[in-house]
């Protein structure tokens, strides 16, 4: 029987390092900035108005001046199932450009460590569940987000190649569906968590009799609170150094129908919930195998109910509706 090789653990000291969070204004980037405030680091960020990370010359010039020693690559074009399926060209172009620019610039400018954020959608649509890291590229992808998934796989393979050819200490993590402060509430292009928080809230205010949830309600999803995600990223940056992917999740999933009821309860909506099967279900199930992450010493701590309650409060604050 082949022994499963467990990842190499190592101690990487962040203290005093110049740390670049690419995508710092986003949901994950913002959580990383909050989490890194507890570390002794020299944090550096650059906003999109200063540099478009698709612009190779601008990225290379910035890296040559700033020379970050540690890079969290959290910048990407991100969206839910309809955004991915509608903006297919933008999702593949932007995400390949951002990944290739930053990974190469980090290498050329001597970054000591880089973390690339992939996504659970890189795994085959019908792969065995829970999804193991070695199931990547073993079957067809979910069509609705294939461009995005291909871009993510390109970034993953680039990180592996730079470790192999140049000995770069670059690592790949695969987050599950994320939610929390700083999420995107676009009515069509958001992910399910933000979409339902907004829709149930607006239905409550309007005293609507019914809320329509997309799809059949039967798909299953795993949801990780974004501040847990950031903590896992810092933990792995400090302790993990190998070529294998590391899934980041809770290890628990829920049907969209049951999840909708969790959000309705958190928001305080008591009307009917119906389903619109004309909207895409996407992958039937995306539950990550988090045993490698557990062996590396990390587990999620925020329950779904607590996380949704905190995400709803963040939504109210971010949209200026929080009770004063």
Ligand X SMILES: C[C@H]1O[C@H](OP(=O)(O)OP(=O)(O)OC[C@H]2O[C@@H](n3cnc4c(=O)[nH]c(N)nc43)[C@H](O)[C@@H]2O)[C@@H](O)[C@@H](O)C1=O
What are the catalytic residues? 148
Cβ pair 163, 170 in contact under 8 A: yes
* Residue 192 site contact among ligand X, ligand NDP, none (CB < 5 to 8 Å, cut-off depends on kind): ligand X
Q: What residue ranges bind ligand X (CB under 6 A)?
A: 79-81, 84, 119-121, 145, 148, 177, 190-192, 195-196, 213-215, 219, 221, 256, 279-283
Would the annotation count 310 as a binding residue?
no
Can you say whether the dihedral through the CA atoms of 150, 97, 14, 225 is positive or negative? negative
Would the annotation count 140 as a binding residue?
no
> Judged by CB under 6 A, does residue 54 bind ligand NDP?
yes
Cβ pair 288, 130 in contact under 8 A: yes
- How many angstroms separate the first and last alpha carbons of the chain? 62
DSSP H or E stretch at residue 172: strand 170-175
Q: How far is the CB of 259 from ligand X (least distance, A)?
A: 8
Tokens at 190, concatenated: 């958001």
Q: How far is the CB of 179 from ligand X (least distance, A)?
A: 9
DSSP H or E stretch at residue 210: strand 210-214
Give the span between the Cα atoms of 317 and 303, in whole angstroms: 21
> Judged by CB under 6 A, does residue 141 bind ligand NDP?
no
| CA proximity to 236, closest of 192, 185, 175 | 175
| Residue number with CB closer to ligand NDP (203 or 312) | 312
Give the binding range for ligand NDP (CB under 6 A) out of 25-33, 106-114, 195-203, 277-285: 25-33
Residue carrying the six token digits 């099967």: 277
Give the binding range for ligand NDP (CB under 6 A) out of 26-34, 102-110, 131-139, 207-215: 26-34
Q: Tell me which of 6, 8, 10, 52 binds ligand NDP, using CB under 6 A.
A: 52
Cis, bond preceding 130 (omega within 30 deg of 0) = yes
3-state secondary structure of 291: helix
Would the annotation count 177 as a binding residue?
yes
Q: How far is the CB of 148 from ligand NDP (least distance, A)?
A: 7
- Angle at 198 (CA atoms; ends 195, 202), nearest 5 degrees: 135
Give the span between the Cα atoms of 27 and 32, in whole angstroms: 9
Would the annotation count 117 as a binding residue?
yes
> Judged by CB under 6 A, does residue 172 bind ligand NDP?
no
Binding-site sequence positions = 23-29, 117-120, 152, 175-178, 191, 199, 214, 221, 281
Residues forming the annotated binding site for substrate? 199, 214, 221, 281
Enumerate binding residues for ligand NDP (CB under 6 A): 23, 25-29, 48, 52-54, 74-78, 94, 98, 117, 119, 175, 177-178, 184, 191
């Amino acid at each position: 029987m082949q022994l499963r090789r467990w990842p190499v653990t190592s101690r990487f000291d962040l203290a005093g390092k110049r740390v670049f969070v690419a995508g710092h204004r986003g949901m994950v980037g913002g959580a990383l900035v909050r989490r890194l405030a507890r570390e002794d680091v020299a944090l550096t960020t650059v906003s999109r108005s200063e540099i478009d990370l698709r612009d190779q010359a601008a990225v290379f010039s910035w890296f040559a001046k700033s020379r970050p020693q540690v890079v969290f690559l959290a910048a990407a074009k991100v969206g839910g199932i309809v955004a991915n399926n509608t903006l297919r060209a933008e999702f593949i172009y932007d995400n390949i450009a951002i990944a290739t620019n930053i990974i190469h610039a980090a290498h050329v400018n001597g970054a000591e460590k880089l973390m690339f954020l992939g996504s659970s959608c890189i795994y085959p649509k019908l792969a065995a569940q829970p999804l193991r890291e070695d199931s990547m590229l073993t079957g067809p992808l979910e069509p609705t987000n294939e461009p995005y998934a291909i871009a993510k796989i390109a970034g993953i393979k680039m990180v592996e190649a730079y470790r192999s050819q140049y000995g770069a200490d670059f690592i790949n993590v695969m987050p599950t569906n994320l939610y929390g402060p700083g999420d995107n509430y676009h009515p069509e292009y958001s992910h399910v968590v933000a979409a339902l928080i907004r829709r149930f809230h607006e239905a409550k205010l309007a005293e609507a009799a019914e809320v329509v949830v997309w799809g059949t309600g039967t798909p299953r999803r795993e949801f990780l609170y974004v501040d847990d995600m950031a903590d896992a990223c810092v933990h792995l940056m400090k302790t993990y150094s190998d070529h294998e992917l590391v899934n980041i999740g809770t290890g628990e999933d829920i049907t969209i129908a049951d999840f909708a009821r969790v959000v309705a309860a958190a928001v305080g909506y008591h009307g009917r919930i119906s389903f619109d099967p004309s909207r895409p279900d996407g992958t039937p199930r995306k539950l990550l195998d988090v045993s490698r992450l557990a062996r590396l010493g990390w587990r999620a701590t925020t329950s779904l109910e607590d996380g949704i309650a905190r995400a709803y409060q963040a939504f109210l604050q971010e949209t200026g509706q929080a009770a004063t």
